[in-house]
Amino acid sequence: MGAACGATPDHHRFPSAHFHGMTAVDVPHRAAHLRLLVPHQTPRSLSAVLRYRSTDPFAVTVSFTGSGDAVEWVFARDLLLTALAEGHCGDGDVRVRLLIPPGCGPADALAMRITLASPDGHAEIEADVCDFRMFLDRALAELALLLAE
């Protein structure tokens, strides 16, 4: 897994770096409605909350909730940005791929597929691209404001 293109379950992550002199800012949470893809079954509805903290500016936390307990994954912010710009990113435990209509580019994608793998299992999730684009735009704008201070 590349450093820029990776994510790990929250209990496996390294401590976040703290930027001296910066005030911690939470970008308002963004709810996303996802579809859990299960082979030979109708996709199951899955909710997620996207979170970003300025004290850990290279990470995005995604809390997935379905019929059971919430599961949190911490994604490299650049994994999501690269996938949105280039159409795909990641290897190993997390991969993100845009579902791009034929003859179109990444900017035209309406959905994305997130593949998660851990020792506890494997999941294929489909999400609306606009939820992630809007959230990341807001997170980057908040970070730019903090750096300008």
Tens-level pLDDT at each residue, the chain (149 residues): 333 333 333 333 323 333 334 445 565 567 888 999 988 899 988 888 888 887 788 888 888 887 777 888 888 999 999 999 999 999 889 999 999 999 999 999 999 999 999 888 888 999 999 999 998 888 888 777 777 76
Strands 26-37 and 71-76: unpaired
Q: What's 68's domain CATH number?
A: 2.30.31.20
**Buried/exposed 95-118: b ≥16 CB within 10 Å, e otherwise:** bbbbebeeeeeeeebeebbbebee
CB 6 within 8 A of CB 76: yes
Residue 18 lies in a domain: no
pLDDT of residue 138: 85
Strands 88-89 and 94-99: antiparallel
Q: pTM of the prediction? A: 0.76
Helix 77-86 / helix 129-148 crossing angle, nearest 10 deg: 120
Q: How many domains does the chain have?
A: 1
pLDDT of residue 57: 80
pLDDT of residue 28: 55
Residue 126 lies in a domain: yes
Six token digits for residue 112: 């994305």
Residue 20 lies in a domain: no
Residue 131 lies in a domain: yes
Residue 64 lies in a domain: yes
CB 10 within 8 A of CB 61: yes
Residue 49 lies in a domain: yes
* Helix, strand, coil tally for the chain in percent (to 5): 25, 40, 35
What's the domain range around 48?
7-11+25-148
